[in-house]
Structure 1
Amino acid sequence: MSEIVRTPTPYSYSSAVAAGGFVFLGLHRGFGNDFTEQMAGTLDHLSRTLDGHGLALSHLVKLHVWLKDINDLPSMERYFAERFPPAGFPARMTSTTQFIDEDCLVMVDGVAFSGDSSA
């Protein structure tokens, strides 16, 4: 049986769970005064979580981006173009929602592939 490895948070969820060659990513968000700060922080936070599992953004296979305001979509697209090579984008869904935290402008969750079915 494969080992399941969790990256705990102080809350009622794990920020990541590695199982069967995949790392399932729970909510990641950035902090800051505007969307650009929050988007950069979100991707940095995601990178740190993946690094804890020996992975990088390039290992992402699926990402769901939640925006508070659909008008931030062009800015979000620019961040993805900066952080991923043209042929290296993860499969992605982008949605809008109202967040519980009023200051939150963006959150992501997703799946990364480690290739290690024993992890």
Structure 2
Amino acid sequence: MITRMAEEQRLSGAVAGGGLVWLAGQVADDASLDAEGQTADILAQIDALLAEAGTDKRALLSVTVVLADIRDAPAMNRAWDAWMDPAAKPARMTIQAALVDPRWKVEITGVALAPG
């Protein structure tokens, strides 16, 4: 069975199936925030999507963080470090790329285990 959450016109915010939850690229609801604030906003969205799927951040297997400007990595990492459970760190990659909306500084996607 496949479950789609937070469906929008072109995508689902998350899709669960086969024991996994795939997160779409999440961006901040408030694009006026700095990179640290946008990251915190996104991580709260990820918490909500994972909760809807019946899991949480401790089940994250891998995460990709996309920064519009790699110089924002320290600010993003401050929010990440405050949020992440140090006993359950996922594999993570951070890259720089242009984002669709120039106001966005951060986009995060990932894969988590779903409840069995």
In the superposition, the TM-score normalised over structure 2's length comes to 0.90
Aligned pair count reads 114
1:21-53 C-alpha deviation (Å, 9 max, x unpaired): 100111111124211221110101111111111
Q: Which residue is equivalent to 2:51? A: 51
Gaps of 5+ in 2: none
Conserved? CA contact 2:2–2:17, under 8 Å: yes
Code of the aligned partner of 1:90:
P
Instruction: Give the match for residue 67 of structure 1.
Output: 67
Residue type of the alignment partner of 1:101: D
Match of 2:65, SS state, is strand
Question: 2:24 aligns to what?
Answer: 26
Q: Which residues in structure 2 correspond to 1:65-104 (within 5 Å)?
A: 65-104=65-104
Q: Percent identity over the alignment? A: 32
Cross-structure match for 2:113: 113
The answer as to 2:45 corresponding to 1:42 is: no
Separation in structure 1 between the aligned mates of residue 26 and residue 94 of structure 2, nearest angstrom: 14
Question: Whole-Å Cα distance in 2 between the matches of residues 80 and 10 of structure 1?
Answer: 26
Calculate the aligned-residue CA RMSD, in Å: 1.3
Cα offset, 1:84, TM superposition: 1.7
Q: Deviations over 1:56-78 (max 9, x none)?
A: 11111110000011111112222
What are the ranges of 5 or more consecutive residues in structure 1 without an aligned counterpart?
none
Distance 2:55 2:25 in 1: 17
* Bigger Rg, structure 1 or 2: 1
Kindly report structure 1 stretches of 4+ aligned residues shifted beyond 6 Å. none
Amino acid at match of 2:23: L
Measure the CA separation in 2 of the matches of 1:89 and 1:80. Answer: 11
